[in-house]
Chains A and B, each alone.
Chain A
Amino acid sequence: MAKNIAGASEVSITRTPTRASYKPRKASPLSLLGSLAAHGVMIITVIACIFPLLIIISTSFKPVNDVFDLKIIPAHFTLSNYQTVLAGNFVTWLLNSLKIGGMTTIAGLALAAPAAYAVSRWQFIGKQGLLLFFLVTQMFPWVLLIVPLYILYAQLNLLDNIFGLVVAYATTALPFSVWMLKNFFDTVPKELDEAALVDGVGPFQAFWRIILPLTLPGVAVVAFFNFMAAWNEFMMAYTFLQSDANLTLAIGIQRYVNQFGADWQYLTAAAVLITIPVLIIFMWVQRYLVTGLTGGSVKG
């Protein structure tokens, strides 16, 4: 307690009420220990977080006999796993995933952007109810949708069809997209589109020519998350897709697992190819996700 009071008096004497002002107090041996402990905890946590990724990367460069060699640095470095994977069905699945992801992103944005603009700019009857509906649909259990959707798709011949997945993905991503885009549109002053309207430009032109270009970074972030949701989705794809030629990466990668075990060397090589591009972009844009999810109340 005495230490605290000493610290407090130090602050009051220097009278600089910023956080840095009681910083010197922390340089005691005790806080040095605390700092060491903090770094220790962080290092252990970070290792636990990246270890599975490291192992995947490491195994993907090992020949089949070394898979359970367990050394992080491969003893016999090889690229043959990647060659085998890229020569197989992986490319088909990759193209399917890219197609589905691309179409989902475009369809999702085309539907969500005008809606988000309307919600962001205009006061209309039923707006609050609509926003609440978007929130509630976020917590829909997918299993509830997937059974009736399966039966609907069976009737429409959309099972084992890429287009069926695109429709489902784009729609389920809508509430989140509208919510995020609304937050981004809200950051542009209303006076800008009002000025455009006074100049005799229609609301669509104001949205298309002024608001969209100004919020392009935000729109790109939403586009990426739509893409990633489709890229990563497992349950619907697993339920709906059947034939090898239609699989996405999430399902195709399972083909490296058979009843006798898994071809870990191929599975990990495929996993690295799937993960790394998404991982890099994700690291870059994730702070926007946190801001968007929590309605701007928290900056990531």
Chain B
Amino acid sequence: MAVTSKHTEGSSPVRQSVWDRRLRLRVTLRAYLWLSPLILCMLVILVYPLINGLLLSFTNADQTNIAAHIGTISYQATYTFIGLENYITIVRNWFTPGSDENHVLIQTGIWIVANSIFHFLFGLGLALILNRKMRFRGLYRTLLMVPWAMPQFVAAFAWKFLYNQQGGYIDTFLEALHLPTINWGSDPAWAFVAVIIVNIWLGIPFMTVTLLGGLQSISAELYEAANMDGASHWQRFRYITLPMLRPIAFLVTLLDVIWTFNVFSVIFLITSGGPFHRSDTIFTFAWEEAFQVPQRYGLGGAYGIIILLILLVFTVFYSRMLRANQTVY
């Protein structure tokens, strides 16, 4: 701070360092005073449940044995510690071929890969088009925002309406083209495709605007220099656009993967994860385990911890990759 230098001017180095340390301490104290309401709130609503969730994941807590107040009657918690049993159950079921959990695990992989790849490809393609000077660019860009601007639960209902099997828009359209109609609700594979399509649709605006922002921040001089050297369109794309876009592309893909992993309302409202959990991801499946009868909170907590670990490992691995890649260019 500018004030510091005024006070410390002319004093000996030793006194100055003492003064600096004292000032730094004072600033730190003040900063935490300003931050204290926020930190308190986050401790209660984020950190305490996180620790509690961890503890809960080692118990057999469900709807029958947690502490609760129903009307005037209070119930004491009677669940017990069962060690790693929840985790063992989850992992064992994951690797039991044919089990619901096994299907859900594979579906989660497909869900994330399909969504992030299509988000990126569509986003990059549209961003490249919108980066050119063209008529109606502003209009296109604005209308492209609609899927992002709509509340997700509204978008989910809108698509459910389009997918409707008794004369819905999509089936009628397929009929008009003399194609077979699709049982979006009852055919497991198509139900899963249906929710993937909706989530791809939802994620395109974010990818497009962020990648477009990335493209626009690439200096035009680079392209001019390449142009003078006679570089082709493809060469300019390959050796200027892609490398320059890399940092922002990595960042938004990371965010995208995390968000895709945590999608709930789209799947829940369109297919409820069905039929037979064939359109569930780990995330929606965990919610169902925790909040559908018999409401196994302990198991839900274990799923939460596992999901957090997956996301953490992915993020660390991914940012390592990002750092390694940045040094190349």
Which among B31, B160, B162 has the greatest number of chain A C-beta atoms within 10 A? B31
Q: How many angstroms between the C-alpha atoms of A235 and B265 in the bound complex? A: 7
B162 touches A143 (CB 8 A): no
In the bound complex, how far is the Cα of B145 from the Cα of A137, in angstroms? 26
Bound-complex Cα distance A293 to B308 (A): 21
Band of interface residues on A: 35 or more
| Chain A residue at minimal CB-CB distance from B43 | A171
Q: Total A-B pairs in contact (CB under 8 Å)?
A: 307
CB-CB contacts below 8 Å: B1-19 with A: 1-3
Cβ contact of A297, chosen from B140, B145, B248, cutoff 8 A: B248
Chain B residues touching A, range = 35 or more
CB pair B155–A148 under 8 Å, yes or no, is no
Q: In the bound complex, what is the Cα–Cα distance between A289 and B143 (angstroms)?
A: 17
Query: Which residues of the other chain, B, contact A85 by a CB distance below 8 angstroms?
Result: none
A142 touches B264 (CB 8 A): yes
B327 at the interface (CB under 8 A from A): no
State which of B92-100, B101-109, B298-306 sits at the interface with chain A.
B298-306
Minimum Cβ distance to chain A for residue B269 (Å): 8
Write the chain B residue with the least CB distance to A197. B3
Asked if B205 and A49 make an inter-chain contact with CB atoms under 8 angstroms apart, the answer reads: yes
Q: Are A4 and B230 in contact (CB under 8 A)?
A: yes
Known: A117-B34, A152-B48. A125 touches B28 (CB 8 A): yes
Given contacts A53-B146, A178-B38, contact A140 B46 (CB under 8 A): yes
Using CB atoms and an 8 Å cutoff, list the residues of chain B in contact with chain A.
1-3, 24-25, 27-28, 30-32, 34-35, 37-38, 41-42, 44-46, 48-50, 52-53, 56, 61, 66-69, 122, 125-126, 129-130, 132-136, 140, 142-155, 157-162, 164, 166-169, 172, 201, 204-205, 209-210, 213-214, 216-217, 220-221, 223-224, 227-232, 247-248, 251-252, 255, 258, 261-262, 264-265, 268-269, 283, 286-287, 290-291, 297, 300-301, 303-305, 307-308, 311, 315
Q: Would you list 23 pairs from A and B whose C-beta atoms are within 8 A, ordered by A residue?
A: A4-B227, A11-B227, A17-B221, A18-B224, A38-B132, A39-B135, A68-B168, A122-B30, A137-B42, A138-B258, A142-B264, A143-B300, A144-B307, A145-B49, A174-B38, A174-B42, A198-B3, A203-B30, A234-B153, A250-B151, A275-B151, A293-B255, A297-B247
